[in-house]
Amino acid sequence: MSEKSEPLKELRAVIQGQLDLLNLTLFVMTEGPVLREGQWLACSLELEQTRATAATAMGAGQSLNTILKNSTERGLAVRDLYPIARSVVEGFINAAFFTTQSVDVSQRALKHRHYAAWKHNNRVIGSGKFMMKLGGANPKATAARLFPEFTGPGKDSWCSLDAPSKISRIGKVVQASGGALLGAYAGIYAVSSEIIHGSVYGMSYFMSAHRGREQTVEALQSGIEEQMVDILSAVSHAASGFIAAFANVHQFGPLVLEEHELFKQLFKATTGDDWVGGGPPDE
């Protein structure tokens, strides 16, 4: 057993616990209140917030489960988990963002899905000889008529903020959530971008698992284990960020404490040290 096998085992256990808490939040958002440890947990978000939060959290949870199921992989396929991890991180950032911000953010996101669906089949791709048009004769004019609030410079997206700016706003409401999400973002975002965009560095980063080791299969697999620890750590931080946001916004003590216990296990698995930061900062 390699020295990285134990942290991987511990991280898998943490993520499974987080998936259980995620299922709890999704159930509360979609089905109704739950009695837990003698207290009722009910969703207090506005309807549009609930819809946007549940959709993004469920998607992130699905991808998190995919990573968990493939976390014993020791070959080249580990490289393919980086883009999935990026999806998990961004999904939970958005879910926490909808949870902690005003309802108008969620309302715009829900409206944007209709515009995005229309635009998927009504757009101009490329330029010059290498150009193709989908849909009607003048997609821009039609979009201005059908979706005026998404027409014009800087209005095409449901949100103009980048991921770090969203995290900053989340952290102003729930400090623990912002900290966890920032850790997730720092751990996966840049390298996953390189892999997604097919860069030379994106491939060499994976192969750098050899760095400082003998050029053997065993050395490569040992390095890949370390990369798997990085991936699991990042997605676990992201899950922590969303669950902490939901628990603290609803001021539900049992869920706050359960999430914090899992975070302490996450910290121990990734650093080897015990958490000394005290209790949940937003409790």
Percentage of residues in the chain with pLDDT exceeding 90?
64
Percentage of residues in the chain with pLDDT exceeding 70?
94
Q: Name the residue among 86, 260, 79, 252 with its Cα closest to residue 180.
A: 260
Q: Name the residue among 236, 202, 162, 241 with its Cα closest to residue 82.
A: 202
Give the per-residue pLDDT at 279.
61
Give the per-residue pLDDT at 12.
96
Q: Render each residue's pLDDT in the chain as its tens digit; 283 residues.
A: 455 678 999 999 999 999 999 999 999 999 999 998 888 999 999 999 999 999 999 999 999 999 999 998 888 788 899 999 999 999 999 999 999 999 999 999 999 999 899 888 888 888 888 878 777 767 788 888 888 889 888 888 999 999 999 999 999 999 999 999 999 999 999 999 999 999 998 888 877 765 666 777 777 778 888 899 999 999 999 999 999 999 999 999 999 999 999 999 999 999 888 887 766 655 4
Rounded to the nearest angstrom, the gap between the alpha carbon of residue 65 and the centroid of all alpha carbons in its chain is 12
Three-class HEC string of 55-107: HHHHHHHHHHHHHHHCCCCCCCCHHHHHHHHHHHHHHHHHHHHHHHCCHHHHH
Give the per-residue pLDDT at 218.
79
Give the per-residue pLDDT at 283.
47
Give the pair of three-digit tokens for residue 144: 């201005």
Give the per-residue pLDDT at 3.
56
Q: Is the pTM of this model over 0.85?
A: yes
Give the per-residue pLDDT at 130.
85
Whether the CB-CB separation of 238 and 92 falls below 8 Å is answered with: yes
- Distance set, CA 60 to CA 11, 19, 26, 95, 195 (Å): 17, 10, 12, 9, 19
